Amino acid sequence: MTSTPTPLPGLHAVVPAGGAGTRLWPLSRSGRPKFLLDLTGAGSSLLQQTWARLVPLTGPGRMLVVTGVAHAEAVAGQLPALAPGNLLAEPSPRESAAAICLAAAVVRTRDPEAVIGSFAADHVIRDVPAFHRAVTEAVSTAQQGYVVTIGVTPDRPATAYGYIRAGKPLEVPGAPSALAVERFVEKPDAATAEAYLAEGGYRWNAGMFVSRADVLLDQLRRHRPALYDGLAEIAAGWDGPHRAELLDRVWPGLEKVAIDYAVAEPAADAGAVAVVPADLGWDDVGDFSSLAALLPPGGNGDGPGGRASADRDAADRDATGLRVLGDRARVLSLDATGVVAGAGDRLIAVLGVDDVVVVDTPDAVLVTTRDRAQEVKKLVDRLRGDGRTELL
């Protein structure tokens, strides 16, 4: 284990870039979803950060992205080093099993010994060296024939994530942390989440899987044979002249199923899944409250100029309490905490509000609170119900 990443021979990274991020509306839109956005003020999108985190482990030639046809051009634009043959454009959404296992099947045709690692395009990992160490252990474990997941050490009793119940150490060479997985458990209620945290044997399921491609596909064949057959047929012709014809004919009939149900859970029941626990500073940026926690504190947005001393305390408070995504000079705050996200070029003024969420875009503005940020999805549902698709 080292904090300097070294390429891991045989590892191919698969990045499923899907999901609308409706709880981040109106920043995240169907035409410009969460993974294409810079949501941390880093100057790069979540997808680009995911690329930057993975490419030291694989090199650019072993990076694959699976996305919808509608976003293929944007993905290619954001990732100029992505090989055209490694951008897998899905003709229609077919859930994560089809997306990830198609990539696995394509990789297997190129490299029968390949290990694939699947990592979401729209998550944040603050401790990248820890991530590299965890992936390195996961690859060593995968090479022993396990389907491996990276289990995030919980720091709170979250109810928004599924959990992984870990078992005994596997004592795999090169992977001292690897444990057997007893089972995956669904998102718990608050009391259960508290119990998981207290018990200590549970990790968050962050949707990160590492496996030999042939092992993963063998599990898929065992549990979803029709889906396996379809993907194998497409993959066999992927690098030839008939890719489009195969996609047109086979893809629409594929089963829509999450990889958790199609592979991970049945494999866990069979004792074939391992977990590498890791403390990554991981976040799925699930809503604006998460977003606020990821943004750095900073001084308030008004420029130099006269200010009454009576305002200083409030300004100091803003400096630590109000997070800004976008141009801080366009935010004018007084006695306010929470988060302001400005995607337009307007001034955003906030006065005397606590834990507020203000999101400004050229065609929609959202005002809510961090407590209610999870419910933004309800607004999106209403817009959809009202047929206002131009705002989605």
Residue 27 touching a copy of itself (CB under 8 A):
no
Residue 378 touching a copy of itself (CB under 8 A):
yes
Query: Could you write out the DSSP letters of every residue in 2-47?
Result: -SS----TTEEEEEEE----GGGTTTSBTTB-GGGS--SSSSS-HH
Residue 214 touching a copy of itself (CB under 8 A):
no
Dihedral pair phi/psi, residue 95, rounded to 5°: 70, 180
Residue 43 touching a copy of itself (CB under 8 A):
no
Residue 312 touching a copy of itself (CB under 8 A):
no
Q: Tokens 């306010």 label which residue?
A: 336
Nearer to a copy of itself, 136 or 300 (CB): 300
Residue 182 touching a copy of itself (CB under 8 A):
no
Nearer to a copy of itself, 38 or 335 (CB): 335
Neighbouring CB atoms inside 10 A of 243's CB total 17
Nearer to a copy of itself, 135 or 343 (CB): 343
Q: Cβ of residue 347: shortest distance to a copy of itself, in angstroms? A: 4
Residue 295 touching a copy of itself (CB under 8 A):
no
Residue 31 touching a copy of itself (CB under 8 A):
no
Nearer to a copy of itself, 78 or 300 (CB): 300
**Alpha-carbon distance 119 to 78, whole Å?**
17
Q: Cβ of residue 295: shortest distance to a copy of itself, in angstroms? A: 18
Q: Which stretch binds a copy of itself (CB under 8 A): 191-199, 222-230, 234-242, 299-307?
A: 299-307
**Alpha-carbon distance 239 to 220, whole Å?**
22
Span 332-371, contacts to a copy of itself by CB under 8 A:
332, 334-335, 346-353, 356, 358, 360-369, 371
Nearer to a copy of itself, 135 or 357 (CB): 357
Report the DSSP beta bridge partners of residue 325: 341
User: And the tokens for 205?
Assistant: 């399921």
Residue 311 touching a copy of itself (CB under 8 A):
yes
Nearer to a copy of itself, 89 or 391 (CB): 391
Whether the CB-CB separation of 379 and 301 falls below 8 Å is answered with no
**Alpha-carbon distances, residue 372 vs 247, 289, 355, 368, 387 (angstroms):** 41, 9, 10, 7, 24
Q: Cβ of residue 193: shortest distance to a copy of itself, in angstroms? A: 23
User: And the tokens for 389?
Assistant: 């698709």
Residue 306 touching a copy of itself (CB under 8 A):
yes
- Per-residue burial over 29-40, b if 16 or more Cβ lie within 10 Å, else e, is bbeebbbbbbbb
**Alpha-carbon distance 194 to 184, whole Å?**
17
Nearer to a copy of itself, 148 or 292 (CB): 292
Dihedral pair phi/psi, residue 42, rounded to 5°: -80, -15
Q: Cβ of residue 377: shortest distance to a copy of itself, in angstroms? A: 10
Interface ranges with a copy of itself (CB under 8 A): 26, 302-308, 311, 332, 334-335, 346-353, 356, 358, 360-369, 371-372, 375-376, 378-379, 381-383, 385-388, 391
